[in-house]
Amino acid sequence: MPIRLSCGGASDVGAHRRVNQDAAFIASWGAAVADGVGGGPSGDLASAALIHRLVAGRMSLPDAGSLAVRIREANWDLRAHAQRDSSLVGMATTFTGIFTSSQDRLLLAHTGDSRAYRLRDGALAQQTRDDSFVQALVEHGLIAAEEASTHPRRNMITASLAGAEDDAVRVVEADAEAGDRWLLCSDGITDYLSDAEIRRIMSQAASPQEAAIALVEAALRADTRDNATAIVSDVEDVSERGLADGPVFLGAAAQRFREELDG
């Protein structure tokens, strides 16, 4: 049976940042979060440009290969910006997204440390691996997993999208069941909320929008030092494929590059 996503989203610059470098979109056919890489130039431009180029026009994504090509094309747009303006050289962004496929499964794409979680039958499971220095320390047994969220180098990532030919995004198929609830979020959420708190909020919220707002508000109460963005998507069965709806943008993508949709 065909599936669709019922999505909600929230994004906040936070109390300690002047600019929201998170960009996101939601639609019945997909959702994604991109987080501009801190320490580099114009992280908000990088995340917003990638999101807008990715979703310009209705995407046809029959399989993982098609999504990988689409992301690669969006990544080239970052290189084009840097070629036009040398001050933008080095701008980069993370990316995590889910998309419906023609096989009525989900396509999960990821690079960096923005995360995807799936809540199924009350159990929360992280669906992405952080591309980060601290994650490598954990996997090599050099620090305990519970130390990762407070490690001084926890925000050092080892993969991102910056317009380079060798930038890599992992795209995989994920099974989809009606009733699954997915969370896509920036590290302004996950560095400050435990998995147990995320599961509680995700489980108790009546709708994706309520869940997204509650997660961002909880991160703000925890005094997140970063931007905080949460996208929550419920998987629903539908009797037939409907007309594609246009994307709704959040964060930096709500202010930048809306003209790209005209293409």
Q: Measured between alpha carbons, how far is residue 52 from residues 17, 34, 150 in Å? A: 23, 11, 33
Domain that holds residue 209: 3-262
Q: Which pLDDT value is given to residue 240?
A: 64
30 phi and psi, to 5 degrees?
Answer: 180, 165
Instruction: Return the closest-CA partner of residue 184 out of 146, 151, 212.
Output: 212
How many Å apart are CA 56 and CA 246, to the nearest integer? 9
Per-residue pLDDT of the chain (263 residues; tens, 9 = 90+): 689 999 999 999 999 999 999 999 999 999 999 999 976 679 999 999 999 999 987 566 889 999 999 999 999 999 999 899 998 988 999 999 999 998 889 999 999 999 999 999 999 999 999 987 676 676 666 666 666 666 666 677 788 999 999 999 999 999 999 999 999 999 999 999 999 999 999 999 999 999 999 999 999 999 999 999 999 999 999 876 665 678 999 999 998 765 444 43
Q: Which pLDDT value is given to residue 5?
A: 96
Q: Which pLDDT value is given to residue 261?
A: 41
Q: Which pLDDT value is given to residue 142?
A: 65
**Quick check: 132 and 198 in contact, CB under 8 A?**
no
46 phi and psi, to 5 degrees?
Answer: -60, -50
Q: Measured between alpha carbons, how far is residue 263 from residues 46, 58, 67, 125 in Å? A: 18, 11, 19, 37
How many Å apart are CA 176 and CA 123, to the nearest integer? 15
Q: Which pLDDT value is given to residue 229?
A: 98
Cα angle, residue 133 at apex, residues 127 and 137 outer, rounded to 5°: 85
How many Å apart are CA 10 and CA 250, to the nearest integer? 7
Q: Does the pTM exceed 0.85? A: yes
Token pair for 24? 């996101």
Query: Which CATH number is 69's domain given?
Result: 3.60.40.10
54 phi and psi, to 5 degrees?
Answer: -65, -40
**DSSP category for residue 206:** S
Total domain count, the chain: 1
